[in-house]
Chains A and B, each alone.
Chain A
Amino acid sequence: MRDQPVLDVDDLRVEFRTGRETIHAVNGVSFQVATGETAAILGESGSGKSVTAAAIMRLLQSPPAFVTGGAVRFKGKDVLAMPIADWRDSCGREVAMVFQDALMSLNPVFSVGWQIAELFRAHSIASGRAADERAVELLDRVGIPDPARRAKDYTHQFSGGMRQRVMIAMAIALGPDLLIADEPTTALDVTVQAQIMELLEGLREEADMAMILITHDLGVVADAADNVAVMYAGRVVERGPVGDVLRRPGHAYTLALLDSVPRVQSKGGKLRPIVGSPPDLARIPTGCAFHPRCRFATDICRREAPPAVAVAPGCSAECHHVERVFNDG
């Protein structure tokens, strides 16, 4: 980690209020990302990782979503408190986001070159021919062959991987300091996934950007991230450098996640799926939210929310049984 973090999320809380119930999607998430660092947010569907990203970008529709607490500081400025127009002006220029499904994230009625050039025009950085030329340069930079011709094509004429490259080109167009990638490779097949991750990593290094990588894919986290925050039921349950956390987790949930992933080396070994399903976020279990599915669970897990316990230098886990888990893993 280096000096002041680019992004500092502190105790962020987000609720969705429907007519009948309140869904606690994010319940006190904190993490920091420093310049040049890749921070991964790891969690299964419904753990609140995408909502966290949307809250940071202020993309949530309110109602039904309400940010009920916490702060997001980007380069020291309070994102949630500033006027939305100011933040939108920073978006693209200083922070950018890549979405999971590039087909859905690009406008179907404009050519991709036009859409990238539009970004320069919207931020009044370049206009007309100059904007078009910069769009072609960007397409070239993200590895799209024959960029001058492909710039005239529409979204549906691109393959999944190429579309994601276009989306990435748009995200890095204005040279942001922070890139949030929300499951950038989930919709792609494995070989293309590797190419896209390589591209993202390369671009990040080149521009010394910070990157937040949101994913449920342990392989992607292990390959690309420096630090990881594991989310469960809207909380970060374990955090630390990727190597340490994935090698010897301190939280029962992280361990269970690792056990449920097939590995080539241990062929024939039994997979241990996590029993049950993620908790209903309108009725989060008391104590540790993971206890109904946890094989280490004891009485205290049902009664008390676990405090953060240091596992190793820079690592902490919110678990009552850190030692048992640590020694088991």
Chain B
Amino acid sequence: MSTAEQEALIIRRRSSWWQLLLRDRFALVAALWLICLFACFLFGPELFGKAATTLNLRARNMPPGSTEQGWLMILGGDALGRSILARLIVAARNTLAIALSAVFLAMIAGAVLGMIAGYFGRGIGHVIMRFADILQSFPSLLLAVVVLYVLEPSVPNLIIVLAITRLPVYLRVTRAEVLEIRERVFVDAARALGSSRYHILRRHITPVIAPTLLTILTVDFSIVMLAESGLSFLGIGIQPPEITWGLMVAQGRNYLSQAWWLAFFPGLAIMLATLSGNILSNWLRIVSDPEQRWRLEAPGKNDA
């Protein structure tokens, strides 16, 4: 049978994820950078906590590129003469913790509500969608300001507010995908072979929409970091002496004309973290999709 022969031609050898990662240079660099950030997240405040708060008036707004005041000043000093590098490393924990918690919270809550809206009855779906409409039509910054003004501006409250403002995106995307996927024949087939509704959602629908949600999540990651910096700038987000990259950008803004590096390096950190997340999630999406995976396995794919 000719079809069987053709099938035999399909590359069968499945490389491990490690091998695939080593072959994709961009994804590898992105992964290394994220591992580096994760190390900062775990150990940063313990190792550099002191350096990040030590004032050194001789290094006030010191430009980057010189190690006169020690190698920690390689990225320059801030308005109070604190090491920007040390502060970046220390801020990684707060920044990543807030942004990641917020986006994951938004994704999980949005996905669950979206699945309910898309899969179970119209009535409950309408209620959920109108709820999403209200959230979206209310200016998110205003909502955050009101909530954080009434409640304490603490880290958990900040995370919840950020998550709520991002929730409608996940909700809508999930609902739209569920509405499409539930009509696919394989869902009917699963029902005909005795799968319960819960089982279908968990085993047949979730795996299909997960890559889409993860892609949105990496984009949202940067949006949330910037939103957090905005709130911190208004004084209702993270309170000094706690720091985040967003707060560093906000504080550096005052000195933009004299000392651009104050805002530039934390901004760069946000951008690189987001970019790495994007590249890696894109790579993950392809690797985890059985129909796309060969693109990474095929030799010489860098020419494509």
Closest chain B CB from A281 CB (angstroms): 21
Taking a contact as CB atoms under 8 Å apart, the answer to whether B192 and A161 are in contact is no
Binds A, one of B36-44, B132-140, B201-209: B201-209
Taking a contact as CB atoms under 8 Å apart, the answer to whether B185 and A105 are in contact is yes
Taking a contact as CB atoms under 8 Å apart, the answer to whether B7 and A158 are in contact is yes
- Known contacts A59-B188, A97-B189, A101-B185; decide if A122 and B7 are in contact (CB<8 Å): no
The one of A92, A159, A167, A171 that contacts B7, using a Cβ cutoff of 8 Å? A159
Taking a contact as CB atoms under 8 Å apart, the answer to whether A167 and B189 are in contact is yes
Say whether B196 faces chain A, with CB atoms less than 8 Å apart.
Answer: yes
Binds B, one of A4-12, A106-114, A204-212, A271-279: A106-114
Closest chain A CB from B120 CB (angstroms): 13
A60 to B244, CA, bound (A): 53
Taking a contact as CB atoms under 8 Å apart, the answer to whether B207 and A110 are in contact is yes
Closest chain B CB from A159 CB (angstroms): 4
A54 to B192, CA, bound (A): 9
- Known contacts A105-B186, A154-B291; decide if A161 and B3 are in contact (CB<8 Å): yes
Closest chain B CB from A137 CB (angstroms): 17
Say whether A42 faces chain B, with CB atoms less than 8 Å apart.
Answer: no
Binds B, one of A83-91, A290-298, A319-327: A83-91
Taking a contact as CB atoms under 8 Å apart, the answer to whether A93 and B194 are in contact is yes
Taking a contact as CB atoms under 8 Å apart, the answer to whether B196 and A104 are in contact is no
Taking a contact as CB atoms under 8 Å apart, the answer to whether B195 and A88 are in contact is yes
The one of B1, B186, B199 that contacts A104, using a Cβ cutoff of 8 Å? B186
Which residue of B is nearest A123, CB measured? B194
Provide the A93-128 mask, 1 if CB < 8 A to any CB of B, else 0. 100110101001111111100000011001100000
Interface size for chain A: under 10, 10 to 19, 20 to 34, or 35 or more residues?
35 or more
A118 to B194, CA, bound (A): 11
Provide the B1-35 mask, 1 if CB < 8 A to any CB of A, else 0. 10110110010100000000000000000000000
Taking a contact as CB atoms under 8 Å apart, the answer to whether A99 and B290 are in contact is no
A111 to B7, CA, bound (A): 15
Which residue of B is nearest A95, CB measured? B192
Which residues of A from 143 to 169 have beta carbons under 8 Å from B?
Answer: 145, 149, 154, 156-162, 167
Chain B interface helix/strand/loop/mixed: helix
Q: Which residues of A contact B10 (CB under 8 A)?
A: 157
Interface residues in B, total, Cβ within 8 A? 27
Q: Which residues of A contact B189 (CB under 8 A)?
A: 97, 99, 105-106, 167, 170
Which residue of B is nearest A108, CB measured? B291
The one of B7, B195, B207 that contacts A109, using a Cβ cutoff of 8 Å? B207
A257 to B186, CA, bound (A): 32
8 nearest A-B residue pairs (beta carbon)? A92-B194, A159-B3, A91-B194, A104-B185, A97-B192, A105-B189, A154-B290, A92-B193
Interface positions of A (Cβ within 8 A of B): 54, 57, 59, 85, 88-93, 96-97, 99, 101, 104-111, 118-119, 122-123, 145, 149, 154, 156-162, 167, 170-171, 173-174, 180
4 more contacts with CB within 8 A, not counting A157-B7, A159-B6, are A105-B186, A109-B208, A122-B203, A159-B1
A-B contact pairs, 26 of them (CB 8 A): A59-B191, A88-B194, A88-B195, A91-B194, A92-B192, A93-B194, A96-B192, A105-B186, A108-B186, A109-B207, A110-B207, A118-B203, A119-B194, A123-B194, A154-B291, A156-B290, A156-B291, A158-B7, A159-B3, A159-B4, A159-B6, A161-B1, A161-B3, A162-B4, A170-B189, A174-B194
